[in-house]
Structure 1
Amino acid sequence: MPHPMIVPFDFLEPDRRRSATLRGVRAPTQDRTTCLGDCFVRNVAPMTDDLDAPTSLPRRSWWGVLKRTVKEFGDDNLTDWAAALTYYAVLSLFPGILLLTSLLGLLGPDATKALIDSLGVLGPGEARDLVVGAIEDLQSSKAIAGPLAIVGLVTALWSASGYLGAFMRAANSIYDVEEGRPFWKVVPLRLGLTVGVVVLLALTALGVTATGGVADWLGGILGLRDTVVAVWDVAKWPVLLLLASLAIGLLYWASPNVRQPRWWWITPGGLLAVLVWIAASFGFAFYVGHAGSYNKTYGSLAGVIVFLVWLWISNLALLLGAELDAELERGRRMRKGESGEDPVAPPRDTRAMD
């Protein structure tokens, strides 16, 4: 059996990495014991047999991927992109809430109440109060029927899709690719993603409501109502996290104009985004509640400022996950012998490029 061939995989030096990969030569000073994270070991069984799987890279390569993710996060100016997405999120938030409450209204008041209860434990108090207050106001307002209602929902859908359009541009920046998809293809994609996210949120609220009732019914049959309900109150959160990761995975797959092997239900970047968002949200809420001085600094605007900062942090987490998935894709393509230079992957469509 031939000795495994070791190819340099230093993410910070793409020219040297690419030339060594193309030559297929052994790194003169590295071996299997000293090559830690900055090289690929070929002819060694990967973590999975599917080279397109999100976790197909050897364990040695993940440290290099993480380093490259941090570096590219700064190089791609993702803090600025997060600020831009925060602006679009504010413009899209209330039209999105209108769409969501319209769908939940078809399912009864319990579905909306379940959504409000789920939101009640996330984010700082000021941000939570703004969102929950908007949902309650829309729920209690008098509905508009007929053609005006349809026009209002279509307008809300278009307004809410503005955030998705901005995220698609940010994703193209992460993958270092131009938007080559024509207008008639981008707009339906934006609207479809918006509808998908809103429907997923509505189904999540319905699932929490329905399964909570099932848990209560099952506990009554078993004579363990309090125990079963208590277990469900804990178990529902991993389910919600999986649904959030699913929505983010769909967003990461459809947004950039790059050819990706396939759509994975859950990606490492999606999981990272959810976990970072949860940790950052609780951390920021703790800071605002115990150490922050927003009320003294901003007075009556403190709630708005806290809400905007929380949205910015949330978008940072979302973009960080997208960056990780992009660097994993770069690593997979390099492992198959392709160039690791920008763009990360070939464009999906080039018709709108100059």
Structure 2
Amino acid sequence: MPNRLVLITFRPMSIRGQIQRLRDIDWDPLHWVRRTLSVNGKALTRLWGRDVMLYVGGVSFFVLLAVFPGLAIMVGVYSFFADASQAAAQAEMLSHLMPPVARGLFEGELTRLARAPLEAVSAQSGVALIIGSYASHRGFKALLAGLSFIHDDEAPRGFVGFNVMALLVLVAAFVLLGFLSAAFFYLRFVAAAFDIKPLAGAPWLFSEWTWASFGITLAMSLIYRFAMSSRPVAWKASITGGMAAALLCLFMSWASAFYVEQIAQLGATYGSVAAVVVFLIWLSWTVNAIFFGGALATEIELAMDEHRATSAAGLLPDLRGEKTRLVSGSGS
């Protein structure tokens, strides 16, 4: 009987707590504007330092070292299962996300690989596998190290755990890229071959920008959630950071193209290597966007923890009063 009385009395307390949480929310739009600006300002502060700049340089270097072997590996793998030109077509679609000046580097390399004999492509893929695996693993290690530094992880992973995590992220990223690019390519192929009318009214579905946005958001949300820290980051913070990183990456693609075409004419200064310089500029800006997403996810999680602590402190007197009332009611 006392247990039943305590259970019946406890349920209104739970409802009262939910109502109190809704009352505690500040519904003033200016409050949320100030809160958003504060969180973004703190996220930018985490990026403001020479240490983060060193991580950006490391990631950019190893990505540049791995990207062309990666193209050879992709064409070599496709050559065993399908036409190598399909791999070239998929990579060419993805290259549209780059500035036009740097896009010529990839289109020329893809054309050469697609026209090369199968034996030559296979041999190149074998050598590229060694170079690309080394550079890719080092690049992801630099990326995770930079995110861990930005997140200010109190208990970072050990040597073995860190290298294993970088390897898992590398494999997962390669699989996700292959799956999304194949799905995008075959969706366009099926829609064009069978003339599917309902899909014709959704041009955004066939845009590489849409698929790139979805892929970057998904990939970075998972990285922020599981790989940025030794403990999982909150889903809300991870997804928000992933969306911000995706939007900034696409914006950086447009901004770098505008910069090198309308503001700085790098061809007159760098000559034949201008395309490489443009690619490095675009790559460094993209890495900064990814690091900002991690910083934003960190600050959002800290703000969520602070809000929970404040709410718990505000509800503590009510819980004590409710407990006293329950004890007195049970004794009666």
In structure 2, list runs of 5 or more residues that go unmatched.
Answer: 1-20, 311-332
From 302, 306, 314, the equivalent of 1:334 is 306
Aligned counterpart, 2:91: 116
From 160, 169, 172, the equivalent of 2:136 is 160
Within the alignment, does 1:294 sit opposite 2:274 as a pair? no
Deviation at 1:319, TM superposition (A): 0.9
Within the alignment, does 1:259 sit opposite 2:235 as a pair? no
From 173, 193, 196, the equivalent of 2:169 is 193
Aligned counterpart, 2:241: 269
- Residues 164 and 193 in structure 1, CA contact (< 8 A), matched pair in contact too: yes
In structure 1, list runs of 5 or more residues that go unmatched.
Answer: 1-40, 48-56, 339-354
TM-score after normalising by structure 1: 0.68
- Residues 165 and 190 in structure 1, CA contact (< 8 A), matched pair in contact too: yes
Deviations 1:200-219 (Å, cap 9, x if unpaired)? 11112211221113323553
- Residues 72 and 124 in structure 2, CA contact (< 8 A), matched pair in contact too: no
Query: In structure 2, what residue type is equivalent to 1:231?
Result: A
Classify 1:71/1:146 alpha carbon distance in 2 versus 1 (closer, same or farther; 3 Å). closer
Within the alignment, does 1:129 sit opposite 2:104 as a pair? yes
Aligned counterpart, 1:97: 71
Matched positions, count: 284
- Residues 85 and 315 in structure 1, CA contact (< 8 A), matched pair in contact too: yes
From 204, 213, 216, the equivalent of 1:241 is 213
Aligned counterpart, 1:14: none
- Residues 245 and 270 in structure 1, CA contact (< 8 A), matched pair in contact too: yes
Classify 1:100/1:91 alpha carbon distance in 2 versus 1 (closer, same or farther; 3 Å). same
Classify 1:299/1:114 alpha carbon distance in 2 versus 1 (closer, same or farther; 3 Å). closer
Within the alignment, does 1:65 sit opposite 2:39 as a pair? yes
Deviation at 1:98, TM superposition (A): 3.4
Classify 1:230/1:299 alpha carbon distance in 2 versus 1 (closer, same or farther; 3 Å). farther
- Residues 111 and 206 in structure 1, CA contact (< 8 A), matched pair in contact too: no
Aligned counterpart, 1:74: 48
Partners of 1:63 and 1:75 in 2: CA distance: 20
Aligned counterpart, 1:231: 202
Aligned residue for 2:24, secondary structure, equals: coil
Indicate the RMSD between aligned Cα atoms, in angstroms.
3.4
Aligned counterpart, 1:44: 24
Classify 1:258/1:204 alpha carbon distance in 2 versus 1 (closer, same or farther; 3 Å). same
TM-score after normalising by structure 2: 0.72
Deviation at 1:285, TM superposition (A): 0.9
Aligned counterpart, 2:321: none
Which shifted more, 76-85 or 66-75?
Answer: 76-85
- Counting only pairs closer than 5 Å after superposition, residues 135-174 of structure 1 correspond to structure 2 as 135-141=110-116, 142-143=118-119, 153=129, 156-174=132-150
Partners of 1:208 and 1:322 in 2: CA distance: 27
Deviations 1:19-65 (Å, cap 9, x if unpaired)? xxxxxxxxxxxxxxxxxxxxxx9853599xxxxxxxxx977633321
Deviation at 1:188, TM superposition (A): 2.5
Deviation at 1:87, TM superposition (A): 1.6
Partners of 1:218 and 1:241 in 2: CA distance: 27
Partners of 1:256 and 1:139 in 2: CA distance: 37
- Residues 58 and 139 in structure 2, CA contact (< 8 A), matched pair in contact too: no
Partners of 1:285 and 1:211 in 2: CA distance: 28
- Residues 242 and 293 in structure 2, CA contact (< 8 A), matched pair in contact too: yes
| Greater helix proportion | 2
Classify 1:152/1:292 alpha carbon distance in 2 versus 1 (closer, same or farther; 3 Å). closer
Classify 1:185/1:140 alpha carbon distance in 2 versus 1 (closer, same or farther; 3 Å). farther
Deviation at 1:270, TM superposition (A): 1.3
Larger radius of gyration: 2
Aligned counterpart, 1:309: 281
Identical-residue share of aligned pairs (%): 22
Partners of 2:192 and 2:49 in 1: CA distance: 51
Partners of 2:139 and 2:224 in 1: CA distance: 14
Query: In structure 2, what residue type is equivalent to 1:296?
Result: A
Partners of 1:45 and 1:300 in 2: CA distance: 58
Partners of 1:145 and 1:130 in 2: CA distance: 18
Aligned counterpart, 2:59: 85
